[in-house]
Amino acid sequence: MTMLRRIRPLVVVAAVSFVAMFGARAMAKVPVRIACVGDSITWGYGVPNRLTEAYAALLQKRLGKGYDVLNCGHGGATALKHLPPNHPGWMVSYWQVPQFKRATKFRPNIVIIMLGTNDSNPSNRADVHKNFTRDYSDLVRHFQHLSTRPRVFICLPPSLEDGTVHGPHPAIPAHGVVPRIVRIAHVMRLTTINIFHAIAGRWKLFNGDHIHPNVNGQKLMTRVIYRALRKAGVVRPVGNR
């Protein structure tokens, strides 16, 4: 009887430790839902098969069972809520696209935001200076206030080599959007994922437009994002990757 009394507290402590380490979701075998919010880079533009080669799909493959990774990227998306009258026809506010509602209804536990590339278009310059920080911060708060209270990670978007028909300006991501995202992270105490630094100057990882990562670029982004999630302790380790 004395032995049983000694064992039971140990069992309880072990169970509590397991829940603390892996979470109640693991105990209930409920998948951890990860929403990947972004533009065409997240969507997977420029890879042969976005359903298997965009970073969201690669992250799903890497994490495996127990995780549900949803690609919520939309081509041409901006963090800005309102675009100027002269904005290109392909550009749209992320707040207005179906993927925004989809990411919201997904009730994610983790949100990865990678926006800013299209905001850097010259047509948005005045709006970036006035409204980008506010609108981006509001997007973060929108997800933070969901009932699931997800952990939000924000990515510094890839650098650009030169302008193209799509129009993002090479200087603004480095000298306008990226510093603003860094400040947002500091103020809101968010973890940044530095895609900008990881892929800067490595043009063999981009398609010919020098904006959209190719398959190898998407693979690199996946590794960087996974390591950030792992370091934050929100996903379990997968081998030595």
- The model's pLDDT over 98-136, given as tens digits with 9 standing for 90+, comes to 999 999 999 999 999 999 999 988 888 888 889 999 999
Q: Is the pLDDT reported for residue 93 higher than 90?
A: yes
Nearest to 111 by CA among 58, 158, 41, 56: 56
Domain borders along the chain are 25-232
CB 50 within 8 A of CB 43: yes
Q: How far is CA 79 from the centre of its chain?
A: 13
Q: In this structure, which topology does domain 25-232 adopt according to CATH?
A: Rossmann fold (3.40.50)
Q: How far apart are CA 179 and CA 168, in angstroms?
A: 17
**Model pLDDT, residue 169:** 53
For residue 241, what pLDDT band results from cuts at 50, 70 and 90? low
Alpha helices in 39-191 (DSSP H): 40-43, 50-53, 55-63, 98-105, 125-127, 133-144, 171-172, 178-188
**Model pLDDT, residue 4:** 39
**Model pLDDT, residue 89:** 84
Q: Is the pLDDT reported for residue 7 higher than 50?
A: no
**Model pLDDT, residue 239:** 63
- The model's pLDDT over 32-85, given as tens digits with 9 standing for 90+, comes to 999 999 999 999 998 989 899 999 999 999 999 999 999 999 999 999 999 988
**Model pLDDT, residue 208:** 75
